[in-house]
Each structure stands twice: as C-alpha cells, then as structure tokens.
Chains A and B, each alone.
Chain A
C-alpha cells in the first residue's frame, strides 16, 4: 500500500506510528501494574491489534462515535481519550474516567465520542448502530464505527444490527477485529465460512477483508467506508485480519496455540514493526528519531501511571451515587 496514494504525509505516518506505540506502552504498563495488584480487574489486552484502532480513528473527528468492546484501550487511546484518566480507572481511582466504578471493560470518554466500552460481546454492534441512527437523524455530519471481535461477529446482535443499518442506510462502519481467537476458540472452529466479510453481501452492503496489522491497509479501507457513510450511502463491513499477541486475558495459558505461531506474527507482521520498517527504509527515520519517540511515549505513559497512583480509590460512601440521572 503506497502511503502517498492515500494522501498521507510523513507526519501522518509518524503520528500513526506513535499512536500504535502509545497504545502498546500504555497496555504493557497496565499489565505490569496489574501484576503488582495496582491495576485491577480482568485484563484483555489489545497488544498486536493497534493498527485497527489507529487506522480508523485517524480518519474520525472528535464528534464521531465509536462503540467499543472489552478490549477497549486501543479504541479509547486512538480516539483521543485522556490516558491519565484511563490508567486511573484501571486502578479503581476517583480520578479515573468513570471515577473507579467502571474499570477496564466499561470505560467511557464521551468527550471524544466513545460513550462506553462493554463487557458484553456483541453489544457494540447494536449500540454503535444506535449511535449511527442518532447521526442520521440529528447530526448528519457524524459517523459511527462499531468495533467488535470475531467472537462478537457470531452473536445474533451482529445480524440484527447489520440488517437494520443497511435497511436504514445508517452511517455506521462495522469493524470486525478478527484476532483469530474467541478466548480459546479458533475462528476456523467458530465460524462456518472461516471469515466474516462475505456476510455483508447478504445485507447488500460492501464487505472487505484487509490485513489488520498493516495500518495503511486499514486506513485505506476505513477511508472508503467512512467517506461512504458521510455521503449518506450507508454502512460498510470491514473485516480486519489481525492477531492478539497476548492471551485472551492476563493469565491465559494459551494452550490453544503454539509459541511459534505468536512469534511468527510478532516477527513478521507486527503493526509497529511494519511501520518502523517503512519509516526507516523510505522516510529517513533514524534510530535517534525512534529513541526520541519511544522516550516521549514512555514519559507520557509514566505520567499517566503517576496520575493513577496518586488518585484516591473510589470510596464506599460514593457507591450509591449516580444510579439515576437527574
């Protein structure tokens, strides 16, 4: 994929490269602090899948909506959520983005259009479609992107949402992050066709499959789909063939796949490695540039960690609050 044909500049590429690094470093830190008991909860990491969120969110405005899943860190960060408040939320702190009551899987960042991540696989499909309905009725300049995994792709909600969205020509992009495993169940053993994108045909909407670890491929497909949605031509379904480099959750034994399989992806098809290679080979990206970028990312995440640690834990006295809106 030629970045120039996509209208991307060196700055754009560096920005996306940095974003993928930021997501990864954030999550690696989250895992490290989880292992110390400081970050709490059920940890589903996005490591390896950063190109998907990055490629899509590069094209989205702050006002556009995204609907996310239990594996939500990447979506939040790529959409521009405050990583300080994210880290604090992971630690159950009052300065977290939900004041400590949501945790890893249920974070929110309404200021950037991510209304709520979700512990229910498949919920993002209907909620994201609902966001799109709002756009189509009340905010036609906006679009909605619903992220879900190969697991979520096999929920009934997927079909109901795709059908309704296609029927009503809603500005929603269904993004299946096919990371090959629904917990331990390989996509070949969960999905009749082995892939998802063909299903779009059944609803009369475009469906494509791209290398989800190549941020430029993701970007290209996302651009077409988002433009189409903004033109009011309705939904698109994009299957991003990606791979999660960590277990389903932290502590996952991963007996369902070989270490060689993971190592192979890490070595040859890691989204960050791919972009680093591109920058260095074609855009005069130096080791020094790389180190400086990494340092700046590390510093940014370290500040988030410090912000989180300094926060006060959610108090029992506050637990009854905000059950209802005024």
Chain B
C-alpha cells in the first residue's frame, strides 16, 4: 500500500494501461508538457513520448471526434475534455457518434474509448467551469458513466474503463485531485457497475458518488453523535447502476437520502429515487429525500458557491428528519 493523491492515481492508471496496451494513448488540451491543468497526466509524456501523449489545440469537437474515429478503427484513446462544461463544444460526438455506433451497426463497429473530464465546484471558477453534468450523459443510451470518489476507486475504475469496449465518460472532480488515499502496489481492477459501501450503517442509506461521498461520510460522523447510524453507499458508476447494492442497503435501513452536487431537478438522484420508489416501495419507512445542488448556475463567490451545493449540515438535517421525526428544513 502507498498513499497517493487522486490525480496520481489517474496518472498511474493511464501509465499502467499504456504500458500494457500500445493501442492506448492520451490526447487532450495541455495533457503533455504540463501534465494537464490538474496534473492528472503528469509524467506520461516523458515515458511515452508525443505520439502517445498528444497535445491538442483547443478543439473539443476534434478531440472527441478524432478519438472516436480512431477508436472505431480499434485504437483505445483516452481523450480529455478539460472541463465537463466544455462538452457543449463537442456534444454531437458524445450524443450521436460514440454513443450510438455500437447499436446502430448492430455491434460491428465499437468505440472502445474513455472520455476523461472533470467537473464540480470549489475553486470559484464560476458558472461555466464548475458544473456537474453527469445527467447529460446518463440520459444517452450507449454510454457508461463513471464518477469515482477516492484514489483507490479512481485507479481501479479507470483501468477497467480503458479496457472496456464501450465509450466510458469518466468524470473526475476538481476538488478531489489532491485528496489522498491508500492504493495497493500490485495491479487491481474495479468492475464498472459495482457500488461500494463506504460506511456501514443501519438507520439510513446515503447514496452518493464523486466528491459528495466525502461529505456524506462527514455527515455520517456527525449523525453518529446523534444516535443515527448512517450507511454511505458510493455508486462509483452511474451507468451501469448497481441497483443490487441499493436494494441490499435500503432493505436494511428503509430510509434513503440521495446527495449530489448537480442541480436537483432531473439530476441523477431523481433516477435513483424513481427506481427505489418503483422497485423498493414496501421497503421504505420514510420518503426518499434528495440533498442536491440548487437549481441555479454555480455562483462564483465563496459562500454562495458552497451553499448552493449540498452541505454536511443539510445532509444531517435531512437524516435527522427521516430517522427521528420532525419537519424537514425545520
């Protein structure tokens, strides 16, 4: 075991897979000399050279489209879109090309690529560089969507994503890059579609992913003092979704809170809530609550930026409400 940063885990996964398979290469804005603005590709240029660590112009459409075109031929590109907010510049490729290729060709042409990007707030980057847009991707059939919360998960999931024969949208969080965690020395993979119980509990299930998992764990600590034993379930991948893990946890607790940074309205929490209401109705001992981002663009100033996202306080309040009675937001 060694303790490394989330961004080091990403770089390590890329390096291992590039060593393993010469068809794997990296392309994106500033990925080469600087190792990316978040340093998640640091060190790759030195080891693999400019042919496999390809710095691109600021052309998201070309980055996504060219990577898709190469993947269709059998390459395994890991293309980087610097901010998920920039996806608008190449959305046709995501929406109509990489996602539909396998289906429309009846499996004859596949797109074994990873579109790495990052989102989330916390750096006062304002409304076009702080968003959480995973729902845009989970709504498109044919994509897989992965959002790891820890260095361990990031490495194991990225390696699997690279080996997957489908387009995987791999969304990191700008607030996680410097977080640290233990990662084994030896190689490991984490399958997509396997949620992880980050904390065992029996009173309430807090479902989350990406950086919100850390907040959920903080909230669980506070809840413990109030006599509430919260379970924190990290989905890790949204598509495929590990509903089995959700079922197991909800059967145990009967209470669910879903928390994510993305806007609450039609966010991924709505999907999870709907599936639980549909399939686990009789297991519920309380309404399903969401603690999610406000339905506004992310404000730039520090406090509003924080307060427009889920907070530990709001999460604790919600858990107390459904575990110990009382009125919500009371």
A and B touch in the complex (CB under 8 A): yes
Give A118 Cβ to nearest chain B Cβ, in Å. Answer: 8
Interface contact B66-A161, CB-CB below 8 Å: yes
Q: Does B166 contact A (CB under 8 A)?
A: yes
A115 and B142 contact, Cβ closer than 8 Å, known pairs A126-B65, A130-B66:
no
Q: Does A256 contact B (CB under 8 A)?
A: no
The residues in A between 71 and 110 inclusive whose CB is less than 8 angstroms from any CB of B are 98-99, 101-102, 106, 108, 110
Give B139 Cβ to nearest chain A Cβ, in Å. Answer: 14
A323 and B65 contact, Cβ closer than 8 Å, known pairs A127-B97, A137-B51:
no
Q: Which residue of A lies closest to B25 (CB)?
A: A137
Q: Does B272 contact A (CB under 8 A)?
A: no
Interface contact B65-A137, CB-CB below 8 Å: no
Give A13 Cβ to nearest chain B Cβ, in Å. Answer: 32
B61 CB contacts on chain A under 8 angstroms: 126, 156-157, 160
Interface string of A49-78 (1 = CB under 8 A from B): 000000000000000010100000000000
Q: Which residue of A lies closest to B240 (CB)?
A: A324
A116 and B102 contact, Cβ closer than 8 Å, known pairs A108-B109, A126-B65, A157-B65:
no
A326 CB contacts on chain B under 8 angstroms: 165
Q: Which residue of A lies closest to B89 (CB)?
A: A156
In the complex the two chains form, what is the Cα distance from A118 to B23 in whole Å? 25
Interface contact A116-B166, CB-CB below 8 Å: no
Give B237 Cβ to nearest chain A Cβ, in Å. Answer: 13
A118 CB contacts on chain B under 8 angstroms: 96-97
Interface contact A325-B112, CB-CB below 8 Å: yes
Interface contact B69-A323, CB-CB below 8 Å: no
Interface contact A129-B141, CB-CB below 8 Å: no
Q: Does B70 contact A (CB under 8 A)?
A: yes
Interface size, chain A (Cβ < 8 Å): 44
Interface size, chain B (Cβ < 8 Å): 44
Count A/B pairs, Cβ under 8 Å. 145
Cβ contact of A134, chosen from B56, B73, B101, B141, cutoff 8 A: B73
Q: Which residue of B lies closest to A322 (CB)?
A: B107
Q: Does A164 contact B (CB under 8 A)?
A: yes
Main secondary structure of the interface of A (DSSP, over half): helix
Interface contact B96-A119, CB-CB below 8 Å: yes
Q: Does A167 contact B (CB under 8 A)?
A: yes
Q: Which residue of B lies closest to A122 (CB)?
A: B92
Q: Which residue of A lies closest to B56 (CB)?
A: A164
Interface string of B28-60 (1 = CB under 8 A from A): 000000000000000000000001101011010
Q: Which residue of B lies closest to A109 (CB)?
A: B108
The residues in B between 180 and 205 inclusive whose CB is less than 8 angstroms from any CB of A are none
Give A115 Cβ to nearest chain B Cβ, in Å. Answer: 5
In the complex the two chains form, what is the Cα distance from A191 to B64 in whole Å? 26
Q: Which residue of A lies closest to B62 (CB)?
A: A160
Interface string of A284-326 (1 = CB under 8 A from B): 0000000000000000000000000000000000000111111
A101 and B69 contact, Cβ closer than 8 Å, known pairs A161-B62, A163-B59:
no
In the complex the two chains form, what is the Cα distance from A130 to B62 in whole Å? 8
Q: Which residue of B lies closest to A67 (CB)?
A: B69
Most buried by B among A120, A167, A324: A324
In the complex the two chains form, what is the Cα distance from A167 to B75 in whole Å? 20
Most buried by A among B96, B106, B165: B106
B62 CB contacts on chain A under 8 angstroms: 126, 129, 157, 160-161, 163-164
In the complex the two chains form, what is the Cα distance from A118 to B104 in whole Å? 10
Cβ contact of B65, chosen from A65, A116, A127, cutoff 8 A: A127
Interface string of B66-84 (1 = CB under 8 A from A): 1111111111000000000
Q: List 11 A-B contacts (CB under 8 A).
A: A98-B104, A123-B97, A126-B62, A126-B64, A126-B68, A126-B69, A131-B70, A131-B73, A137-B75, A161-B62, A325-B110
Known: A98-B108, A325-B110. 4 other contacts (CB 8 A): A129-B62, A163-B59, A324-B142, A325-B107
